[in-house]
Structure 1
Amino acid sequence: MLFGRGPECARIDRLLAALRQGAGGAVVLSGEAGIGKTALLDYAREHASGLGVLSVTGAEAEAPIPFAALERLLAPVPGPIASPPRVRPLCGSTAREIPGPEDRFAIYAGFFRVLTAAARSAALLVVIDDAQWLDRPTLDAVAFAARRLTTERIGILVATREPQGPASVETSGVRGLDDEAAGQLLAALLGRRPPDDVVAAAAAQVGGNPSALLELAGTLSCDELTGTRPLRLPVRAGSAATRIFGARIATLDDATRRALQVAAVAADDGLPVVSAVLAHLGIAGGALGTLEDTGLTSFAGGRLSFPHPLIRSAAVSDLPPTRRRSLHRAVAEMLTDPAQQDRRAWHLTEATLAPDEGTARELEQSARLTSERRGYAAAAVVMEQAAAFSADEAGTARRLCAAADAARRAGRGTTALRLLDRSDDHTTDPALRAASAGVRGRVELHTGAACIARRVWETGAADIGRRDPARGAHLLAMAAEGALVAGEPEGALRLARRAIRSAPPRDTDTTLLGSLVIGSALSLSGNPSDGMRWLQDAAALARWGTDADVEWVLFAELGAVAWHGEDGDPRQVLDPLVHRLRAEGAWGQLPLALYVTALADSRLGRLHSGRRAATEAVELATRTGDLLALCAALGCLAELEAQLGDEQACRAHAADSLRIRERTRLGEMHRDALDGLGLLELSLNRPDRAVDHLEEANRRPSGYADGLLVARASSADLLEAYVRSGRDVPDAVREQLRLLTELALPDALGALICRGRALIGDDAEYDTWFTKALQLHARSPSPFDTARTALCYGERLRRAGRRRDARKHLEVAFDAFRHIGARTWAAQAATELGAVGRPVDAPAAAAGHRLTPQELQVARLAARGGTNREIAEQLFLSVKTIEMHLGRLYRKLGIRSRTQLANYLRDNVLA
């Protein structure tokens, strides 16, 4: 099967179609060895049904023999057609002689007559492979025929390594595969497609040459194929590299060949380093100039480059291992600048066989620098290498654990667990085992095994607690987090309180995490007032009081957002955090950060921004296997889509979230999805269905007295659903509402509680509570929640016969819903306005709302000036996919430029 050869196959198809219609033609396919020319010829033969086919492949050994290839080409032609006088000079021994010019012309003409005779019964396709090795007379005969095919039913298809075919014959250059086609080829070979960055790196190293790519894949380790470990450079593309460039390299003198080998090993370190290594090895400086004259390398601006990446592979393909290691060590000795630490460490690993603590220390330092420069994935690889060179078991275990933590942050949980298993095998030290437990529990939690995470952390705390109380307390707080996520708030509360009691006085990390768990558990138990105080204290500590790990900062923001525990803008904390995680390549932590960002946007009425963040969170979490973030982000996405009025997407994403929760032990991860479904049913005026979803979303966890939570954001939706459906509001809910309105709550939460009191209040009190709710909304602006309150107020006023007062609030609601893109809610407001004598048109779906979430992501990044490649890297897609998305959305929006795109997004509040 061919990949990435659409244009070439289309040209062959046109040639075959022309033959079937009685017209001839010739095409030359030109390209380097292994580029796929033979596969294209095979494609032509496979699709030549109903045609006669003659084939020949050039043989280097026969190149000096005149007409040797022509004789083999015509061997299948029946005797009467190929007999004299048509091709008399080709028969017998005369074919081994060199005829004169007149005889050669007669042979060319005779060859053409044979072809035309053979094409009388059926159109004829002549296929010639490796034409660079045809003897010259045969090549001239083919060229002679190719120029005379316009009116004949003969097609000639030639493959050659020469850059240009015969004059007046169409030549089509066959180039290397792009990343998309390279990925398809590797997937066909390996059974699954490697990650995009692995495909891109492998394709770049072989110039997209399919043959070399397949050979390279066969030499790569499992870690290299999965992206766990980067490719070793220069790669060894085996016979493909030698076949293409080996002959040229073989002609070099010894000094120039050695210079080429040094250049191949040190190319990424720059020309000055290559020159220094050559001088160190006693190779004359003029060798570099001689090397450039051969065309195998070029130098410009202090940089060394190769015209084709396979030259680099061919240069070292026959180097003995000892010689290769000595070259790497020579390069390492020249890299003395601290800025070159990571390159020096890499060369040392290539030069060292046995454990060496000096090399291990250099690699460990390099890993720390690598995490800042190239991200956690690269740092994990370097730290694992450091562990391999460690001189003792403790060093090996410690560095393997550090590598696992870097892999976890990079979103490679399976790799992290493998490294932790190896770390535990190398030590029985409780301190090292405790460090391992800390990382292992975090991986288990994010793969959906919250109960296992709790058990790992709790066991680790018991093992280390007496020896290191601070470490033990910290693991207890983490165990409390695991219990909370698993849906066991009572156990979480108990563990968190133990952790805070046993922590040293100034252990702010444990205090932070314990406070977050206590605040969340109290809120879930039906004590939001005390819970809110704990969450607010934790948020303040996370922001200003400690250099906390990113997960706890996110947990603090999540608690504050989920329970409306603050009135500020959480994006002031979240945006820099998301930016930092992107820069660090922390793909294992970014999905959770994006989820919290999306949830904050949902609460603040930034619906399109939130949908974009949630969509990216889903995509990243899917890639990294982060089921915790995936379940949460899908639920949040469903809630945002309910606000926007996208029924189909809301139901699909809520179902996906709930399925993940069912097959894992993420007991507390169902609420967002059910909130979304309840809100959707309300927007579609189906209050009975809304009640079913919202009661389940707001039910207290198991282990507590049966009842409903009233201080969640969707509790106000539940009260609205009760009222709309005509159901009785439970007395316990009424009492909780009454108690909450007596407490000093954050404005955002207070506004929702007041709306709830207004919805269930009698005619004498609803004005008071709606007015108070709108006042609180004004101090903590959320366009969506404010519009919902205005809509409810307007409806109540209309039912009371106060049409003029109702119109004022309904107009506010309609304008707000329309502005933020909440179409179904705007339609509700439009219906209410019509009922009070102020008819308006319900907003139609704008073209921007017909864009898929991914198209909207691409559109925003493009409108901000990102190149296709930059957008592809940020979204983990291929450049070709980005081009496809842009083309499709340009057609949907009826625009032609990125400037128009930016204007459209701005005008439609989509930017």
Structure 2
Amino acid sequence: MSASPLPHLVGRVDERATLDEVLACVRRGSSAVCVLRGGAGVGKSVLLDYVAAQASGITVTRALGVEADMELAYAGLQQLCAPFLGQADRLPEPQRDALQVAFGTAAGDPPARFLVGLAVLTLLTRASEARPVLVVVDDAHWLDRASLLTLEFVARRLLAESVALVAAVRDPEGSAALAGLDELRVDGLDPASAGELIDSAVDGRLEARVRDRVVAETHGNPLALLELYRGRSAAELSYGLDATRPEAVPDRVEEDFARRAGMLPSATRSLLLVAAAEPAGDTRLLLRAAEHLGVVPDAAPAKAAGLVEFGDAVRFRHPLARSAVYRSANPAERRAVHSALAWASDPVHDPDRRAWHAAQACDGPDEEAADGLERAADRARRRGGIAAEAVLLERATDLTPEPDRRGRRALTAAEAHFSAAALDRATAMATVADLCPLDATDRARVSRLRARVLFARSRSDEAAPLLLDAAAQLSAAGSPLARETYLEAISAAVFSGRVHGPAGVAAAATAATAARRPGAALGTSPSDSLLDAIATLLADGPEQGVGAVRAALGPFAHEELDGPESTLRWLLLAPVALEAFFHHAWDFVAWDEISARAVRLARGIGALGVLPTLLVYTAGVDVFHGDLDAAARKIEEADVIASATGNAPFTYASLVLTAWRGEERPALALFDDARTRATRRGEASLLAVTGYVQGVLCNGLARYADALDASRAVVEHDGFNFVGLSLIENVEAAVRCGEPHQAASSFARLDALTRVADTGWARGIRARCRALLSEGDEADRLYRAAIEHLDEDRVTAEVARAHLLYGEWLRREGRRRAAREHLRTAYDLFAAMPAAAFAERARRELAATGVKVRAPAEAIGARLTPQEAQIAALAAEGMTNPTIGAHLFLSPHTVEWHLRKVYTKLGIGSRRELAGVLALTAGGTPARV
């Protein structure tokens, strides 16, 4: 689409300058995003016309959101992509398939929304290679939800492409739409500009006092100035014929549009009503519907009244004009128009729109219409349009005459609303379902849904017992959903952090185990077997459960997955499995293997909803492997994706990373904020991790009393997560504080937790902590055994701490030469991580042996941002820019932009030199991406 004619603008100097800079950015090869926010009629649409008109040499594509009850999944996005769809075959196959299924041009599994977003990003990027692209969206808050969320994702990933997005959002209706993006506030015109505009609309010369009154009445709203006073005489206004009224300005403008529509000939009013009821604006469709109504099309009076423009598509002068026409019609007139539009819609190529209009034509319950909407909802689900599915099912519920069927549809609508994160609507539809006759299984599904909503709203421990109750109901009814619900109950209990009590992990696991009684429905997949093993672990304890978990590892880690749905189910179980391997089985190898596979699978299907969580688990592997920079890269990627998908950043991961880095000031600020939020929201697990990480930080800083207090709070709590790790910190701090009874008590618990695991990690930790409590040859033997066992599993961070503790012990034993060897090893490992507090502790100990250590030189990789380092590492492995872009959900242009910055910072000229230069970082620590 080429540039539009330049609209007439009064004032708006600052706004025009901002939009001009947007265009300058894309002409320079950079991206830009600008969201115009303001009330109805304030001039956002005219500014969009301005930026489109100024876009010479730029490809302009536009979309318009329309206030309509219907949600046609991806309809708005299809408008925007229409000029570029001829190049869709050039997309990588997973992106191409996702886009085609989303747009209904191919059959396939429901695509992940974020994979659709990546496809759109790639499509726009490739189009911009020929000439810059400007995406213009008016009334973005009225786009279908799938399109709006995808557009938000694309906007947050734009960086180095010649692509700009300028969108208009109406306040207050659209306050949540495109939130957090660069925005431009559009208010009423300044008094001078508003006076100039009213002078152009009124016949005759206005007195200054009258002009000032009119401007004040409208608050400088341009649409009000033009539409309320256009054609009025100066005399009319001077004598108060339009005196101030209490209605809001948009209400008055809409009333004026309705007044103008009411003065039109009957045939024209009917034609306008057809146009107002059909958001697509397809002129041929409107003419067929008008013919069915027996209306002779006569658009000229409506055009003369300034209400609408007819061309290939129908465009109302303003959304308020559309709503005025629709609302001013009586219900019978609206039903007749929708009936005609249903008749005119193609049943083969546009069955969803036909079903929607048929439903709107009903004046009471109608099973045929409800059935049509249900089929449309199923098609929306298969395209990945969960929000559209929910809306269609909700309307189908309204039309369903038979109570049993009405209840089932309401329940399905509620579950779809929950999946679309519309929690209020999910609750409302669950209430509708509750009022209908339901069988035992459906009644349990309602209970489960209410518990899931509660857990989504607040991570407290109130949801777990409700999920357990729902799982028990489902199990009694023989529903396969029982297993999934028990998993959710375990997850909720794990998150709340408690082991015992009605909301605890043990209670959830015991109930899940009891559900495996003879005759109960059981799964036979590796995922089901692993869930059984985890339930045994949590219900019966490590003695019975760890062996079962480890036996289930191999089949689960290598389970064959036959499509996106089975892959997503596997990915949803992976975090619970990782918690078991991490906190109970002490299996570092399994933690590494499962988390790495989970990240690969999530990237492969575009599952950005779970990818950030899985990236955090791989970052944890990096922390204990001794590569804090790699951990930082993954945490930043997780936070960027979480932000792009509307989720919160990962506080847990940032806390652990900051503590190990030994960054006291930022760490303490994070700790205080985490404690406040955990206390307010009842997140016991967040309190636990805060105690653990403060123990790590304070032990690194040699502030042992603080470390003892922090870790004691965790080990005395009835917690699930981080107890074992906190016991490690507690033993060390207690020994240093001269509290042998506390140290022995904590070691006894740690010994019981690690002995049954019998991994290198578990054996090494047990030996190291026992050495702290031992003397003489026994301590010497245990320290050496700890180093050997921990090195066996490559838990480098714990190996470094074992060398540090051994070196400290050797120095106190007077064995200075041997102490230097281990302290130097510890210092080198900590400096390479880099773990500043522990490195400084090792340096001081070395100084006490008579060895001076220089401060470490800045690692080459430290010059790079986490994202630059991530991209550089992937490029060094030989990945192409498009492959890296697909891997990190970035466009190839953004990848190249980052690489140019990498080359400059590292003083190299091409990617061929990357591998050699990066090998110098972190003392040769292997990159983990």
Following superposition, the deviation at residue 778 of structure 1 comes to 3.8
Aligned to 1:225: none
Following superposition, the deviation at residue 539 of structure 1 comes to 5.2
Following superposition, the deviation at residue 397 of structure 1 comes to 2.6
Cα distance change on mapping 1:492 and 1:186 into 2, 3 Å = same
The letter for the 1-side match of 2:715 is N
Following superposition, the deviation at residue 372 of structure 1 comes to 5.5
Aligned to 2:674: 657
Alignment check: 8 A CA contact 1:454 1:479 kept: yes
Aligned to 2:853: 840
Deviations along 1:434-459, one digit per CA (max 9) or x if unpaired, are 11122222232343465543443344
Deviations along 1:429-483, one digit per CA (max 9) or x if unpaired, are 2221111122222232343465543443344456565543766677567556655
Return the alpha-carbon distance in structure 1 between the equivalents of residues 182 and 341 of structure 2.
25
Return the alpha-carbon distance in structure 2 between the equivalents of residues 499 and 434 of structure 1.
15
The letter for the 1-side match of 2:700 is S
Alignment check: 8 A CA contact 1:438 1:475 kept: yes
What is the correspondence of 1:41-80 to structure 2 with a 5 Å cutoff? none
The letter for the 2-side match of 1:504 is A
1:722 matched to 2:739 = no
Return the alpha-carbon distance in structure 2 between the equivalents of residues 267 and 185 of structure 1.
19
The letter for the 2-side match of 1:575 is V
The letter for the 1-side match of 2:599 is D
Return the alpha-carbon distance in structure 1 between the equivalents of residues 253 and 861 of structure 2.
49
Return the alpha-carbon distance in structure 2 between the equivalents of residues 463 and 178 of structure 1.
43
Q: 2:798 aligns with which of 761, 774, 785?
A: 785
The letter for the 1-side match of 2:725 is A
Following superposition, the deviation at residue 573 of structure 1 comes to 3.3
1:558 matched to 2:571 = no
Alignment check: 8 A CA contact 2:293 2:340 kept: no
Q: 1:528 aligns with which of 536, 539, 542?
A: 542
Cα distance change on mapping 1:412 and 1:549 into 2, 3 Å = farther
1:607 matched to 2:628 = yes
Alignment check: 8 A CA contact 1:401 1:419 kept: yes
Return the alpha-carbon distance in structure 1 between the equivalents of residues 866 and 285 of structure 2.
46
Larger radius of gyration: 1
Aligned to 2:99: none
Secondary structure at 2:776's aligned position in 1? coil
Return the alpha-carbon distance in structure 2 between the equivalents of residues 418 and 622 of structure 1.
28
Deviations along 1:185-220, one digit per CA (max 9) or x if unpaired, are 956x57x9324279999999xxxx9969999xxxxx
Alignment check: 8 A CA contact 2:546 2:757 kept: no
Q: 1:506 aligns with which of 522, 533, 536?
A: 522
Aligned to 1:130: none
Aligned to 1:436: 446
Cα distance change on mapping 1:796 and 1:360 into 2, 3 Å = farther
Alignment check: 8 A CA contact 1:635 1:672 kept: yes
Aligned to 1:23: none
Alignment check: 8 A CA contact 1:567 1:747 kept: no
Alignment check: 8 A CA contact 1:615 1:637 kept: no
Cα distance change on mapping 1:695 and 1:8 into 2, 3 Å = closer
Return the alpha-carbon distance in structure 1 between the equivalents of residues 394 and 183 of structure 2.
21
Aligned to 1:572: 596
1:400 matched to 2:410 = yes
Following superposition, the deviation at residue 808 of structure 1 comes to 4.5
Deviations along 1:663-701, one digit per CA (max 9) or x if unpaired, are 445445432111111111112210111111112223362
Q: 2:655 aligns with which of 638, 642, 645?
A: 638
Q: 1:453 aligns with which of 463, 478, 490?
A: 463
Q: 1:427 aligns with which of 432, 437, 442?
A: 437
Return the alpha-carbon distance in structure 1 between the equivalents of residues 663 and 707 of structure 2.
16
The letter for the 2-side match of 1:769 is L
Aligned to 1:7: 14
Cα distance change on mapping 1:444 and 1:773 into 2, 3 Å = same
Alignment check: 8 A CA contact 1:377 1:410 kept: yes
Alignment check: 8 A CA contact 2:364 2:399 kept: yes
1:713 matched to 2:725 = yes
Secondary structure at 1:427's aligned position in 2? coil
Q: 2:704 aligns with which of 670, 683, 687?
A: 687
The letter for the 2-side match of 1:336 is V
Aligned to 2:537: 519
Following superposition, the deviation at residue 329 of structure 1 comes to 1.6
Return the alpha-carbon distance in structure 1 between the equivalents of residues 621 and 223 of structure 2.
46
Aligned to 1:226: none
Q: How many residues align?
A: 679
Cα distance change on mapping 1:843 and 1:862 into 2, 3 Å = closer
Deviations along 1:47-71, one digit per CA (max 9) or x if unpaired, are xxxxxxxxxxxxxxxxxxxxxxxxx
Following superposition, the deviation at residue 552 of structure 1 comes to 3.2
Cα distance change on mapping 1:903 and 1:528 into 2, 3 Å = same
1:697 matched to 2:709 = no
Aligned to 2:175: 193
The letter for the 2-side match of 1:7 is D
Q: Which moved more, 1:480-489 or 1:433-442?
A: 480-489
Aligned to 2:694: 677
Task: Extract unaligned runs of 5+ from structure 1.
Answer: 12-32, 41-174, 216-236, 703-707, 876-881
Following superposition, the deviation at residue 280 of structure 1 comes to 9.3
What is the correspondence of 1:308-323 to structure 2 with a 5 Å cutoff? 310=317, 318=325, 321-322=334-335
Aligned to 1:418: 428
Cα distance change on mapping 1:202 and 1:8 into 2, 3 Å = closer
Cα distance change on mapping 1:654 and 1:416 into 2, 3 Å = farther
Aligned to 2:86: none
Secondary structure at 2:777's aligned position in 1? coil
Higher relative contact order (CA closer than 8 Å, sequence separation 6+) = 2
Following superposition, the deviation at residue 776 of structure 1 comes to 3.5
Secondary structure at 2:702's aligned position in 1? coil
Secondary structure at 1:194's aligned position in 2? coil
1:822 matched to 2:835 = yes
Secondary structure at 2:724's aligned position in 1? coil
Cα distance change on mapping 1:477 and 1:898 into 2, 3 Å = same
Deviations along 1:66-121, one digit per CA (max 9) or x if unpaired, are xxxxxxxxxxxxxxxxxxxxxxxxxxxxxxxxxxxxxxxxxxxxxxxxxxxxxxxx
Alignment check: 8 A CA contact 2:415 2:426 kept: yes
Aligned to 1:17: none
What is the correspondence of 1:354-369 to structure 2 with a 5 Å cutoff? 354-369=364-379
Alignment check: 8 A CA contact 2:728 2:750 kept: no
Return the alpha-carbon distance in structure 2 between the equivalents of residues 755 and 720 of structure 1.
10
Following superposition, the deviation at residue 714 of structure 1 comes to 3.6
1:497 matched to 2:504 = no
TM-score w.r.t. structure 1 length? 0.58
TM-score w.r.t. structure 2 length? 0.57
The letter for the 2-side match of 1:516 is I
Alignment check: 8 A CA contact 2:513 2:539 kept: no
Return the alpha-carbon distance in structure 2 between the equivalents of residues 203 and 278 of structure 1.
41
Cα distance change on mapping 1:441 and 1:809 into 2, 3 Å = same
Alignment check: 8 A CA contact 2:810 2:818 kept: yes
Cα distance change on mapping 1:344 and 1:787 into 2, 3 Å = farther
Following superposition, the deviation at residue 740 of structure 1 comes to 6.6
Secondary structure at 2:430's aligned position in 1? helix
Secondary structure at 2:758's aligned position in 1? coil
The letter for the 1-side match of 2:513 is R
Cα distance change on mapping 1:528 and 1:185 into 2, 3 Å = same
Cα distance change on mapping 1:403 and 1:641 into 2, 3 Å = farther
Task: Extract unaligned runs of 5+ from structure 2.
Answer: 1-10, 19-39, 48-136, 142-154, 156-164, 187-218, 226-249, 875-879
Deviations along 1:11-68, one digit per CA (max 9) or x if unpaired, are 9xxxxxxxxxxxxxxxxxxxxx95559x99xxxxxxxxxxxxxxxxxxxxxxxxxxxx
Aligned to 2:338: 325
